[in-house]
Amino acid sequence: MAVETRPDVGLPQGVGRLTIRWKAFLLVALAVLGFGLFAYGYEQANGMSVTSLRSTGTMGGATWGLYIVMVEYFIGVSLAGVAIAAVSRVFRIIELRPIARIAELLTVASLMVGLIAVIIDLGQPIRGIKNMLLYARPQSAFFGTFTLVAGGVFLTALAYLFLGGRRDAAKLAEIPSRLQWFHRLWASGYTDSAEERDRHRRVMFWLSVGIVPLIVIALSTEGLVFGVQVGRPGWFGSLQGPDFLVLAAASGLANLLILSAIIRRALGDWNRIDAEVFKWLGRFLLVAASAALYFMIVELFTLLYATPSNERLLADALLKGTYAWIFWLSIGLMTLGLALLISQAAASKWRIGTLVVASVAISTAAVAERYLTVIPSQTHANLLPYEPGSYFPNWVEFSVVAGLFAFGALLIGLFMKAFPIIPMTDALILQDDGVEATNA
Amino acid sequence: MTKYSMAVDLDRCQGCRACMTACTIENNTVQSNHWMYVFRFEEGTFPETEMSFLPRPCQHCDNAPCVKVCPVGSRFKREDGLVLTDADRCIGCRYCELACPYGVNYFNWQKPEKGQYDVVDWKDDDLEAVTGGLIPPYRNPDLDELYGEEQRHTAGGGHAKGVIEKCTFCVHRVEKGLEPACADTCPTNALVFGDIDDPESPISAYLKDRSPWQLLDEAGTKPNVYYIGGKPPNKELKEIERPKATV
Amino acid sequence: MRRTITIGLVSSGLALMVIGFLTAAPWGTDSVDNSNPVITGAPMLFILGIISVIAAAVLYEVLPDRHR
Amino acid sequence: MLKVNRRKFVRGSTTVAGSAIVADKFLFGSFSGVTAAQGPEVAGPVEDFVATTCWIGKQDCGMIARRIDGRVVKFEGNPTNPRNVGTLCPKGQAQIQAVYDPNRVKWPLVRTNEKGVTGEWRRASWDEALDMVADTVSEVRERDPKKVLWQKGRSKAKDFYDDAFVKSTGASKLGHGAFCSDAGYRALEYTLGTHAVLHPDFRYCNYMLSWGWNITNAGGNKFCWLTWPRHMVEARDRGMKITHLDPRLRSAGPFADTWLPIRPASDLAMALALCHELIALDYLDRPYLSTYTNAPFLVKPDGMVAKVTIGEGEEAEEVGLVWDEEAGEAVPFGETDNPALEGEFELDGEMVKPGFQVFKEHVEENTPEWAAELTGLSAAEISKVAREFGENAQIGSTIVVDGVEVPYRPVGIMAYHMAQQEMGFQTARAMTMVPMLVGAVGAAGGQLSDFTWKIHKNYAKFEKFTVNDPPYDFVLNGSKYFPINTGFPGMVAKVMLDPERYGVEELPEVAILHMVNPLNSFPSQKEYLDSYGKFKFVAVISPWLSETADYFADVVLPAATIEKYEGPISATDQYVDAVTLRIPPMEPLFESRGEIDIYMDLCERLGVLFGDDGYLSVVNKELKLVDTEFALPLDQMPEVRDIFDRWSKSQGIEEGIAFFEDPDNGTFVKGPVSPTKMYGYVAETPFGGALHRLYGDSLLDAQNQMKEKGAEEIYWQDYTALPTWRSPTMDSSPSEYEFYLISYHQIEHKQSRTSFVPMLAELAPGSYLDMNPESAKRLGIDDGDEITVESQNAITGETRSLVTKAVYCEAIRPDTVAMPHHFGMWTHPQNKGQGASANEIYFTGEGYMTNTADQSFHVKVKVTKGSEA
């Protein structure tokens, strides 16, 4: 087992080495998280009245606001990570191998953040956890979030991350360091025997085969949370599920791309994420973003032809009313992102910087699009003629959400200092003939 | 079987909102949480203007979307028709609020005592000498009781921060044999309450020779509130004299 | 052994999910009974089922070989 | 005490709830009521009920207070009270917040800073505060009791306040009628003799002119609100049609079958045109006109009625002459069954015409086309109203009511505050003539006014006016300005500011303000700001610190709200006669006290409580206890409860006041009102013996006297024998003041005593100006914009302005803007941000009041965007 090490450091990829840059990152992330916690504490002490959230109808507010927008966004993002990891394994796309762990980590982190955001949105968070365990009803679309997303996808992603990392862990466990205990624990007795490799391949294959439909089902239930609402024009419809998935794929890929680019820079000399990875990500993103834009344009046309009714009111709010700037921003950004991708695809030249710009545009468009899914139907699409209202998040909500992002970044940042972010080896691509492929 | 229902006679409704105030006092709900709400509408352009009123209690649907979506069974339908909320079970996800096409659910955005019209200082020392510090001073002890065979905490509002509440048809009064507070106070008896399965009940008698319609029939919620006279609301209606929302 | 444990965990996991599902609140919205699980904590069983299925996969791989 | 069966049941179940602690299990086997499911040894809260009456509104609906351990938790309607039959309006419900309001005046307050600015106060004992009031009042009273002014906004126990206190102290009294419908009351007292305005007999009426009636928001004739809408919806269930005459549709809401958006202040033209049409279409009840009105009286060329004196000595009375066509000669009224209504005859060398002929000629030119121009309605619409009114009147028909055959004229007018306009008196008279022509007055289904045909003393007084020379008293009674004088605080304020101008020498020095807030509730705030500082001493009796008290009170005496005995209070709904009392559902909060207690204490200090003509003696008289076993002894201070106990027993109620405290009773129902009381035609003496004055020659006589004494035209111009149209003064404001400003009542509020009740302020939170979008857009004003409303006094040129926000309203005429009138207060924390009151920019005095000294609520305004102005 040839473990790549350097003479001056014990562990690869900067694991265990706390650089100034990383400490600065840690400080910033902790500060943002801290402020987020303060904002949430303030909210808990005074009630959600300190947010911009208000009851729908007579109060003219939105009862689900930025928190739920971010729940939808984070859960959407989580899709891409584990899907990429799974797809790269099932279809043996070797080029994506370097970012497989990033993808898994992104899934774990964004799911964790997304599920925390669900709890944060509850009026009674403690009671929420307790009563869901005691009384959760399968009829409610939340049951899916609770069991399939929180239980299924999250645990599978964790299992994925864990099992996929055992071989690296076993190698690291041989290197003396303060983290040796952790690597030993993770390795959990892995010896890299042929049976073990074989078993690992089997497990990973079945997990991969299992997780993709699970994700599709689980995340569709997220769409169903909105889609089954007969009483809310703009929500009810069979497209909510697919719409959710497509946007999830686009935003997830965009975030994976951004994260990969950041890690690429952060790793410096350790970097093993080559341009080929971004090419692949770019292609996937191109497909996903095209589909997302397609859905948006279909929606736009539907809005343009909305009959004088609740849908008309909603359409007016989106096209030229309160939410027009967000609507056109999301379409503009998605178009911009897509244009950048197409131009690169056409030229067959994939530049990481441009890809990152496109990804930021697409990811932001996705947040905006989630916002437009969640909010206007509450303020402008009541079936009874309540006067239209408005909602825009205030500092408390923005702070809490910033804290959530910081928490996610912290998870990834901490992970990077505890474990190699790029797989050093990957049992999956080892062929039965025993040819050992290693990084480098 | 018993099935509690309400008839709303729009040919009698004056839009006075006495039902709203009666409800607030009876159920100790916090400000801006209008379990009973009365729309006032204007339609058309001068001089072809028309006006109308529309009281909107919870419709206590047979096919209640709120019951379906409640993740923890806090919202439930009783065999006697009442759709109720268990204030001790609710986790505050507000899914019911969004599922309901009528907009009847209200959240306790803050600590209830803060929302009790706190522009007035109910903690005033001299007042406390009279009320024992209860907030609101007209606090109704019936609301702390458990009701029905299910023995759950369903009556009244303003129980805790972060839970949903809505019209209960005054379950605590109904179980005493009294009408809901709104129907009791209605100056023109535009609200008629009773057991629609009992042909002798006031509501059955009232509906007998009239042709009621239901709110948002097309939503398939099968409401238990019947409207008489007037016409179903449409989007051409302009709501006027909307109460001030203060949270 | 490995196989037994795995199959055992997967099947008991699936069984727990089925039981959890069946003993959760009954379908329907017309009765107080529909708002309570048949067994309080049934959703916990469902979750345990999921955990156990995934644990099966993990254990299948992690359990040390006997001959070692 | 608890009797569940007194309430309306959801189902036929009967429950046993004999004890105060209820733990009935009858429906679901659950515990309900107020006892927790706790051990039997722990006593639960004690629930009980007390009957009382509403305090917050005008009509004093019957209520039952639900109490827990003596703390009131809710007021509900008392089903035994005919007036509200177990129901309550939003104010009635919400007043519980007012009762517990810690912002009430908790104890007597004595001012520590100068007047005319926000008050600073020190807490005083009742003894100190009452002594202060008594000392000042005594000093002034000794010089001239009339210099003590007792002013009320609303008095809820007239016998004890208006009568006993005012009479025993000899104080001057001012009411609020001049801001209410008093010009209409004067018009009806003059025309029919009844002390009321107009309402139809809802039990049989088929066609109602809802003339400026704020159906869904405010009272009608005599009632606060709730009773009339009850009658109205029942009449509509029967098929009654409503034609609604109002610049705003909001008043009628969905209940207008036809809405005629009439221009403000043009009602007189409308009424005259209706009379014109009824005459032209011959919808005339000639027997009524010849028998019960002075229409056949012969009018001489000078406009006066030809009269003869019949009888001799004490018996002598002047009787109008009528023309007996058969005999071809003038005979005293009553001597022919068939006097001429039309024609021209020669009498003593002069050509005379019957009053009706004069009237007919008078309205000859008041055609629908003529009125269309003034009212903003079409001639066809006006004509249609007249035709419908005439057709529906079914002239000549009768109906049997409770065994009595009564003329049946199922048409009538509901009008209440219609008189609040410059020509209010003559407008109300002209409106009364519309049902008079078809004989609907006092007919079944027809035009009613008071609940009985009791004739008010003013009817006889108005037969002959005496106009005196100055000096006048400060109310200008008997002056050349107001031969009919309601007693107008606005005019008193003007007199106080310039007594010489009005020939007044003596001004009031001390004011006792009883539940009145002139600064805020009366139009033309400026006059009150300027004049109330002139009082040497002002004592305010009020539960809240009114704005007037804030600026001008020397002493504030905290009155209780509902927590006191008060009454007796009529509980009739006009069809059933009943009476009730206000019973304290709990002890007066803080250190407040019931007004009767306050007045008795004050009278004792003033030395006017005991003895003949003392306070108690007047109370005995007003409660009709004199010479009964229940009369109050005149030498000892009674408990208030004891007074009402005596009164209850005097009414034949054996249990005494306990009857009224009992939640199962609470209302003493005397029974249905007999048709012979309700319908003037079949009254024991038809119409109470008053001959209806179609033709008002004494008004003309008053005009002549006024001219003689040198009164200016503006005072005498509306003293005409027949209602005569002229342009309202405000119409001569410059044309930039293009809108008519009117103000209105919202159902959530009552004058200025509810806008601080949080639950009501939530529903109707503050001031705004209704604008037709067409007009608003022309001025570049968007829905919700901040705007400045500036009024102009057409006589003095003075302008006043306020800032509020515009609200688009399709239910208002484009030339009219309207504001709710309940806001503009500042002493309560809830008042913050509620905005201005239209009262701040109305004017009072010449041009903005009636010829009977009543306030007009009209002014021309201009509206501009923004608040710079």
pLDDT, tens digit (0-9, with 9 covering 90-100), for A8-37: 457 888 888 888 999 999 999 999 999 999
Contact B103 A225 (CB under 8 A): no
- The string of pLDDT tens digits covering residues A302-312 is 777 766 677 77
Residue B9: predicted pLDDT: 97
Which residue among B122, B151, B194 places its CB closest to the CB of D10?
B194
Torsion of CA D581, D585, D588, D594, to 10 degrees: 0
- The string of pLDDT tens digits covering residues D734-791 is 999 999 999 999 999 998 889 999 999 999 999 999 999 999 999 999 999 999 999 9
Mean pLDDT of D813-833: 96
CA distance D696 to D709: 21
Mean pLDDT of A140-155: 79
- The string of pLDDT tens digits covering residues D836-855 is 999 999 999 999 999 999 99
Kindly list the residues from chain B whose CB atom is less than 8 angstroms away from the CB atom of residue D24.
Answer: 176
Selected residue with higher pLDDT from A412 and A232: A412
Collect the ranges in chain B with pLDDT lower than 50.
none
Contact B73 C35 (CB under 8 A): yes
Helices and strands counted in chain B (H then E): 8, 10
What pLDDT band is residue A429 in, cutting at 50, 70 and 90?
very low
What pTM value is reported for the model? 0.93
Mean pLDDT of D266-279: 98
Lowest mean pLDDT among A210-214, D53-57, D823-827: A210-214
Q: Is the pLDDT of residue D371 over 90?
A: yes
Kindly list the residues from chain B whose CB atom is less than 8 angstroms away from the CB atom of residue A47.
Answer: 108-111, 114, 161-162
Smallest Cα distance from B213 to chain D, Å: 18
Q: Is the pLDDT of residue D40 over 50?
A: no
Contact A137 C51 (CB under 8 A): no
Q: Is the pLDDT of residue D55 over 90?
A: yes
Kindly list the residues from chain C whose CB atom is less than 8 angstroms away from the CB atom of residue B150.
Answer: 32
Tokens of D40: 């039997």
Selected residue with higher pLDDT from A319 and D339: D339
Cα of D285 vs its chain's centroid, Å = 30
Selected residue with higher pLDDT from A124 and A243: A124
Query: Which phi and psi (to 5°) does residue D865 adopt?
Result: -75, 145
Residue A342: predicted pLDDT: 93
- The string of pLDDT tens digits covering residues D307-360 is 999 888 888 888 999 999 999 999 999 999 999 999 999 999 999 999 999 999
Mean pLDDT of D451-465: 96
Residue D550: predicted pLDDT: 97
Smallest Cα distance from C9 to chain A, Å: 15
Tokens of B118: 């706190």
Q: Residue B162 contacts by C-beta under 8 Å, 6 or more apart in sequence?
A: A47, A48, A122, A123, A124, B92, B107, B108
Cis peptide before B136 (omega within 30 of 0): yes
* CB-based burial label for D796 (10 Å; 0-12, 13-18, 19+): exposed
Mean pLDDT of D89-118: 97
Query: Which phi and psi (to 5°) does residue D702 adopt?
Result: -60, -40
Residue D33: predicted pLDDT: 37
Residue B57: predicted pLDDT: 97
Q: What percent of chain D has pLDDT over 70?
A: 95
Residue A260: predicted pLDDT: 92
The residue type at A110: S
- The string of pLDDT tens digits covering residues D396-448 is 999 999 999 999 999 999 999 999 999 999 999 999 999 999 999 999 999 99
Kindly list the residues from chain B whose CB atom is less than 8 angstroms away from the CB atom of residue D242.
Answer: none
Residue A204: predicted pLDDT: 83
- The string of pLDDT tens digits covering residues D643-689 is 999 999 999 999 999 999 999 999 999 999 999 999 999 999 999 99
Beta bridge pairs of residue D447: D200, D441
Distances (CA, A) of A198 to A89, A428, A430, D407, D576: 14, 9, 10, 109, 97
Kindly list the residues from chain C whose CB atom is less than 8 angstroms away from the CB atom of residue B149.
Answer: 32
> Which residue in D336, D331, D341 sits closest to D306, CA to CA?
D331
Q: Is the pLDDT of residue D38 over 70?
A: no
Mean pLDDT of D685-695: 97
CA distance D512 to D153: 11
What pLDDT band is residue D571 in, cutting at 50, 70 and 90?
very high
Lowest mean pLDDT among A67-76, A141-150, D321-330, D645-654: A141-150
Q: Which residue of B has its CA nearest to D832?
A: B119
Mean pLDDT of A156-173: 89
Contact B78 C32 (CB under 8 A): yes
What pLDDT band is residue C66 in, cutting at 50, 70 and 90?
low
- The string of pLDDT tens digits covering residues D590-631 is 999 999 999 999 999 999 999 999 999 999 999 999 999 999
Q: Which of C23, C27, C30, C38 to mutate to test the interface with B (most CBs of B within 10 A)?
A: C30
Smallest Cα distance from C8 to chain A, Å: 16
CA atoms within 13 Å, Cβ hemisphere of D490: 30
- The string of pLDDT tens digits covering residues D223-248 is 989 999 999 999 999 999 999 999 99
Q: Is the pLDDT of residue D15 over 70?
A: no
Selected residue with higher pLDDT from B227 and C29: B227
Smallest Cα distance from B238 to chain A, Å: 7
**How many interchain CB pairs under 8 A, A with C?**
75
The answer to whether the beta carbons of residues B18 and D89 sit under 8 Å apart is yes
Residue A228: predicted pLDDT: 73
Contact A231 B102 (CB under 8 A): yes
- The string of pLDDT tens digits covering residues D709-726 is 999 999 999 999 999 999
Q: Is the pLDDT of residue D26 over 90?
A: no
Render D54-67 in DSSP notation, one character per residue.
--SSSS--EEEEEE
Q: Is the pLDDT of residue A5 over 60?
A: no
Which residue among A134, A143, A189 places its CB closest to the CB of C40?
A134
Lowest mean pLDDT among A240-244, D179-183, D370-374: A240-244
Contact B17 D747 (CB under 8 A): yes
What pLDDT band is residue A266 in, cutting at 50, 70 and 90?
confident
CA angle A157-A162-A165, nearest 5°?
Answer: 120
Q: Do chains C and D touch (3 or more CB pairs under 8 A)?
A: no
Residue D27: predicted pLDDT: 30
What pLDDT band is residue A7 in, cutting at 50, 70 and 90?
very low
Selected residue with higher pLDDT from D45 and D600: D600
What pLDDT band is residue C63 in, cutting at 50, 70 and 90?
confident
Contact status of B131 with chain D (Cβ, < 8 Å):
yes
Q: Is the pLDDT of residue A431 over 90?
A: no
Q: Residue D476 contacts by C-beta under 8 Å, 6 or more apart in sequence?
A: D482, D485, D491, D495, D502, D504, D853
What pLDDT band is residue A232 in, cutting at 50, 70 and 90?
confident
- The string of pLDDT tens digits covering residues D277-317 is 999 999 999 999 999 999 999 999 999 999 999 888 888 88
Q: Do chains A and D touch (3 or more CB pairs under 8 A)?
A: no
Q: Is the pLDDT of residue D555 over 90?
A: yes
Tokens of D234: 């029942």
Residue A437: predicted pLDDT: 40
Distances (CA, A) of D681 to B146, D430, D440, D771: 61, 21, 10, 45
- Starting at the edge strand found earlier in the chain, the sheet holding B238-239 runs B50-56, B37-43, B238-239
Q: Is the pLDDT of residue A398 over 90?
A: yes
Kindly list the residues from chain A whose CB atom is less than 8 angstroms away from the CB atom of residue B102.
Answer: 231, 383-384
